[in-house]
């Protein structure tokens, strides 16, 4: 089966399975999503949402983060892990927002990538979720599932992003990423994928090989 046909079949199955799939981070504005996405690195969205419940009451603007005492900010986000790096990036990111973007989150890839701690994954989350600009969000679930299904042969996020963009309709780029996250959590876990009950088994290279 060609990759494009396979992607269409997987998209169809997963869209039926997870009709409500979307960004599972809590936020009310672009800055909150920017901070939440940075905190989500190496951390679950559930944990991030617990932390941001109080964090977003304490820090409401880019000025608040930019002027924060670094050790206090570290303490506020400690349970998300890698808190020193994350606190430094968030503070520097907000200083840059103030310096170059009037304290607002920019709405294009080039400007987003100029922000400390913001890579293509975070940028695509923001572009697709807030600014209605489609993007493939390559996280750990997307990397694992796209590889297992056989939609890419690369483990490099930049190449995976390009591979998926080539074979999926543009308007489905972000949706497909969310479907893979949901399926990765529910069925195709890293250590024990439940191939026996997986509805995309007919299209999955790894599963078909495993159950042959
Ligand atoms: S068949 Fe197995 S490896 Fe393939 S997507 Fe399903 S659970 Fe994952």
Atom of ligand 1 nearest to the CA of 148: 3
Ligand 1 atom with the shortest distance to the CA of 194: 7
Identify the residue whose tokens are 């050790």: 71
Test site for ligand 1: of 10, 140, 147, 148, most ligand atoms within 8 A of the Cβ: 148
Site residues for ligand 1, CB cut-off 6 Å: 145, 148-149, 187-188, 193-195, 198, 200-201, 204, 206-207
Contact 184, 144 (CB under 8 A): yes
Q: How many CB atoms lie within 10 A of CB 60?
A: 12
All structural domains of the chain: 3-21+136-210 (1.10.1670.10), 30-129 (1.10.340.30)
Q: How far apart are the CA of 26 and the centre of ligand 1, in A? A: 29
Specify the pTM.
0.91
- Residues 171-210: tens digit of each pLDDT: 999 999 999 999 999 999 999 999 999 999 999 999 999 9
Q: pLDDT tens-digit profile of 87-142? A: 999 999 999 999 999 999 999 999 999 999 999 999 999 999 999 999 999 999 99
Task: Look at residue 109 in the predicted model and tell me its pLDDT.
Answer: 97
- From the candidates 45, 64, 111, 139, give the one annotated as an active-site residue: 139
Spatial distance between the Cα atoms of 189 and 182, rounded to a whole number of angstroms: 10
**Does the annotation count 139 as an active-site position?**
yes
Sorting pLDDT into bands at 50, 70 and 90, what band is 1? confident
CA distance 41 to 121: 10
């Amino acid at each position: 089966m060609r990759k494009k046909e396979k992607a269409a079949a997987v998209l169809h199955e997963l869209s039926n399975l997870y009709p409500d799939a979307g960004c599972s981070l809590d936020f009310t504005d672009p800055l909150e999503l920017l901070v939440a996405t940075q905190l989500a690195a190496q951390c679950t969205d559930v944990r991030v949402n617990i932390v941001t419940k109080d964090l977003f009451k304490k820090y409401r603007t880019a000025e608040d983060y930019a002027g924060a005492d670094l050790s206090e900010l570290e303490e506020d986000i400690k349970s998300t892990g890698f808190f020193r790096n994350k606190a430094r990036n968030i503070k520097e990111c907000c200083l840059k927002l103030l310096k170059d973007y009037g304290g607002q989150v920019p709405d294009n890839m080039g400007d987003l990538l100029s922000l400390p701690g913001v890579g293509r994954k975070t940028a695509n989350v923001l572009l697709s979720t807030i600014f209605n600009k489609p993007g493939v969000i390559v996280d750990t679930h997307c990397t694992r599932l796209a590889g297992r299904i056989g939609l890419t042969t690369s483990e490099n996020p930049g190449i995976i992003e390009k591979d998926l963009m080539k074979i999926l309709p543009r308007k489905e780029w972000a949706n497909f990423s969310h479907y893979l996250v949901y399926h990765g959590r529910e069925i195709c876990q890293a250590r024990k994928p439940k191939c026996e009950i997986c509805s995309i088994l007919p299209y999955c290279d790894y599963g078909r090989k495993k159950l042959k």
